[in-house]
Each structure stands twice: as structure tokens, then as C-alpha cells.
Structure 1
Amino acid sequence: MALRRGKSVPEGGTMPLVDHLRELRKRLVIAALAIVVGTVVGWIVYPAVFDFIKEPYVQGVKPLLERKGFDATLVLSGGVGSAFTFRLKLSLVLGLVISSPVWIGQIWGFVLPALHRQEKRWVYLLTGIGAPLFAGGVVLGYVVLPKGIEVLVSFAPESIQVLLSLGDYLNFVIRTVLVFGIAAQIPLVVVLLNRLGVVSARQLASARPWTIIGIFVFAAVATPSTDPLTMLFLALPMTLLYGVSELIARLTDKKRAQKQPAEIRDDEISPLD
């Protein structure tokens, strides 16, 4: 049975499948329109953003190539339409970043009706914290970017000429900053799971050694460069953030235990109702 217009969904209640699909369609349309608008803005500010993205190459990689006698010019290959494709791709990435508050808000708007009011407040709080964390991860990835490119280019023999593709360079930049940005969301995910009762602080503490090993394995696989320095730049902050999230989960569990009545041990007699 379809919901009446103006009738709100009960908090933590259910909604028919058809209404779920309509709600999903509406939010997808809003998110898509926001991305289109953001892409148009990205197309307009493309020259300034391109100079910003190219700066790590100009400051770090180009001098290294010139010292080795290589041609330090970035090459745009791929045919007549490659310049348009490159600008469109970069504009789309900028559109996703610019419109992220809108489409992230649409995701939460679709998920939140299934949560209770207290969990909703936590989701809003953690989302507000997640944005600065993501930005910090992107900035850190941008800082270590020249070192990663320098290490990869240094493997080229001096007997050959190195011509770097502009498209490959853009893919490398995007992958590096996104990996660092997403990795910075570890506290957000861990604390949210703890708040929803999926994991406890005790479980996080017992899994800490394996989690740290997993973080270093992830950093080694996810970073585009192969040098250990870039891997450490990613793994060490992730480990620190995991420790912070474990501390927050411990405080949350302690506060939750104080609100709940003391559990009756197996050797005690429970009171009769």
C-alpha cells in the first residue's frame, strides 16, 4: 500500500518496496544534477586546478628528470580528442568533489529513516568529522605525491628517453589523493560501527595486531608507488587513527554500560517479577 502524501515514515519503521524505489530514484536524480552542476563549475575553473595538480611534477619530478638528461615535458597522447577528454575527465572529478556535500547528504537521507533519533545525531556528527578527515587525507596524499612519482621515475634506465603521459599522470594523482582521503575515514567507520553495536571496544582491542598488519598490507597495495616511504606516510596515520577510534569506542562502551542495569551473573538468583 502506497504511503499517503504528507504522511511521514515512523522512526525506525518500514516502507513498502515501491516507495523505497521512488525515494531512491528521487535522490539519485538530485545527486546526478548536483554532479552535473559541479562538473560545469570544474570545467570553468579547469586552468587554475590543472596548474595546481601539475605543481608537484614541476617542483619535484621535472628537476630530477632534467638532471638525468631526460625530456621533462608532459605529453598528451591519444588522438585528436584527447585534450577534450582529459579536460572533461578532470572536470568530472572536480564535480564529484564540489558536489560531495549534496550526494553524500542524499545517501544519508536515504539511510537515516531506518535509524533511531540518537543514532541520527551520531551520523550527522561523524559525517561532519569525516569531511575534514577526508580533506586532511587528500592534503597528505598531495604532499607525498612528488616523492612517489620521483621513486617510480628513478627506475628508468638512463639509456632511454622518458615521456610521461598527461593522462597517466592525472590517473596517478587522482588515485593517490583518493586512497589517502578514503583511508582517513577509518575512525568514522569504526566509531559508527561501535555506536550501532556491531563491534565493541574489547573486540577492537583483541583485533588490534591483525588490524595493524592489515593496514600495512593495504598501504603497500593501495599506494601507486612502490617505495616504503609513501607506504609509511599512509600506514602510520591510519594506525594512529585506528587507535583514536578504539579510544572513542572504549569511552562509548563505558558510557553505555553506566546507563544499562548491571547484568546478573550465572551464579546469582534473578529477582522474580
Structure 2
Amino acid sequence: MTKKDENLVHHLEDLRKVLLISFAAIFVGTIICYSLFLDQVIEIVVGPLNKLGQDLVFLGVTEGLFTKIKMSIFGGVIISSPVIIWQMLRFIFPALYSHEKKVFVPVFFLGIILFISGIVFGYKLVLDLSLKILIINFSEGLSPMISVSKYVSFVISFLLPFGIIFEIPLITFFLTKLGLISAKFLREKRKYVILIMFVLAAVLSPGPDVLAQLFLAIPMIVLYEISIIISALIGRKKQKKDLSE
């Protein structure tokens, strides 16, 4: 086996450990959520619908149980997000120089803050408005009978993408550090990336709500512009270092 093959096997083994630990953390987080915080999670998830005076129904004997498990998994992902982010950073950081690894802890906390901020942004600013438009404005003359399982699936698939897209600046940081992208590259590809972002917003949005798609696309565009600034700052710092050397 060549040195290149050995390195590939080593990286795949590290990735396997990252995935196993991450899934184990989600499993533990799910149990903790189901045992201790399920009522609070249900109250948070159902809250926006209750504000509209709507009740949920279940259509199958096991739907209530599986919906609670689904909400527990969602809560488990949020609880275990520090572990998942830690594992991902641990997998990426060996590719950086020793002096660059000093930012591990700040980047770790920034990753958590960005993920939670994305979910809070989606929940506080977008979900309420989207539900009002979909249920009240677009369903005039109809009597809603909303399945608890479909509603919870809608909320989860609605909020998680916000948590993920808020990590764009962090991803840009690492890709720039690794020399895979630059601010110039990001500027040149801006129009194509914006188009892709709108397509992703349409795919990730759990319904035909154009407003929700816009609210998902606009943060991605803003975060992309912030990423260009971050990449430019890193590039200038690297250039100054090269000149001094």
C-alpha cells in the first residue's frame, strides 16, 4: 500500500469515527430530550400554530408516539450540536498549520452560535409568517385539519436548513485557510452562487411558500457576502505574512 493510500485509509477511518460519535451523540441527546424536555419541545414546536387558533389531530394509532419520537430526535440534534461541531472541527483542523489551530475553541463556539442563531432566526422571523400565509391567507374558505405528524415534519424540515446555512461563513473560513477558495474566486462566482441559492431555497423549503423561500435565500446571500469579506481578510493576512517572510 502506498503512502497516499495509507493517508486515504487514515482519513476515512477518522471520518468513520466522526460519524459514529456524532450519531451516538444524537442518540443520547434524543433520549435526554424525550426524558426531560419533551413537553417543552412540544410547546415550542406547536406554539406558532396555537397562536393561529389551530389544533392538531392524529390520523393513525401510532402517529402520536412516532411524532413525539420525531420531536425528540429534533431536540436531540440541537442538544448534541456542540458534539457534532466539535467532531467536524477535529476532523478538519489536522489539515491546518499548528499556529492556525489556536483558533479551534473560538471557532467551535462560533459554530454553535451560528447553528442556534439560524434555527432561532427561522423560528422567530419566518415560521410564524409562513404558517399565517399558508393556513390563513392561502386556505380561505377551507377548514384546516392538520395532522400532527405532517406538521412536525414541516417544522423540522423548515428550521434545520436555517441552522445549516448559517454555517456558511465558518465553511468559508476553512476552505480559504486550506487554499481551496479565495475572495476573488467567490466574487467571480457570485451570480452563479446566488442562482444556486435560490434553487436550494426552493428545494429546502417544505412547501410552495414563495415568501419562505425568499426568507431562506436572502440570509444565504447575506452570509455569502460576509464570507467574501472573511476570505478577503484571511487572504490579506496571508499575503502580509508571505511578504514579511
TM-score, normalisation: structure 1: 0.76
Compared with structure 1, are the counterparts of its residues 119 and 15 closer, same or farther at alpha carbon in structure 2 (3 Å cutoff)? same
Q: Which of 138, 151, 154 matches 1:155?
A: 138
User: What does 1:1-273 correspond to in 2, within 5 Å?
Assistant: 17=9, 21=13, 30-43=21-34, 44-59=36-51, 61-62=52-53, 72-79=54-61, 81-122=62-103, 124-143=105-124, 144-153=126-135, 154-156=137-139, 158=141, 160-261=142-243
Compared with structure 1, are the counterparts of its residues 238 and 25 closer, same or farther at alpha carbon in structure 2 (3 Å cutoff)? closer
Question: Which whole-Å deviations, capped at 9, do the CAs of 1:201-259 have from their partners, x for residues lacking one?
Answer: 11111112222222223223322243333222222222121111111211211121122
Compared with structure 1, are the counterparts of its residues 19 and 89 closer, same or farther at alpha carbon in structure 2 (3 Å cutoff)? same
**How many residues are matched?**
237
Separation in 1, partners of 2:242, 2:145? 65
SS, match of residue 55 in structure 1:
helix
Any gaps of 5 or more consecutive residues in structure 1? 2-13, 63-71, 263-273
Moved more, 114-123 or 208-217: 114-123
Contact 1:151 1:225 (C-alpha < 8 Å) held by counterparts: no
SS, match of residue 45 in structure 1:
helix
SS, match of residue 260 in structure 1:
helix
User: What is the one-letter code of the residue matched to 2:33?
Assistant: G
Question: Which whole-Å deviations, capped at 9, do the CAs of 1:50-87 have from their partners, x for residues lacking one?
Answer: 0111111111x33xxxxxxxxx32111222x2222121
Any gaps of 5 or more consecutive residues in structure 2? none
Compared with structure 1, are the counterparts of its residues 18 and 193 closer, same or farther at alpha carbon in structure 2 (3 Å cutoff)? closer
SS, match of residue 134 in structure 2:
helix
Q: Equivalent pairs: percent with the same residue? A: 35
Question: Which whole-Å deviations, capped at 9, do the CAs of 1:179-206 have from their partners, x for residues lacking one?
Answer: 1111111111122211110011111111
* Higher gyration radius (CA): 1
Separation in 1, partners of 2:220, 2:11? 40
Task: Give 1:260 shift.
Answer: 1.7
Separation in 1, partners of 2:192, 2:178? 23
The CA RMSD measured in Å over matched residues stands at: 2.7
Contact 1:142 1:177 (C-alpha < 8 Å) held by counterparts: yes
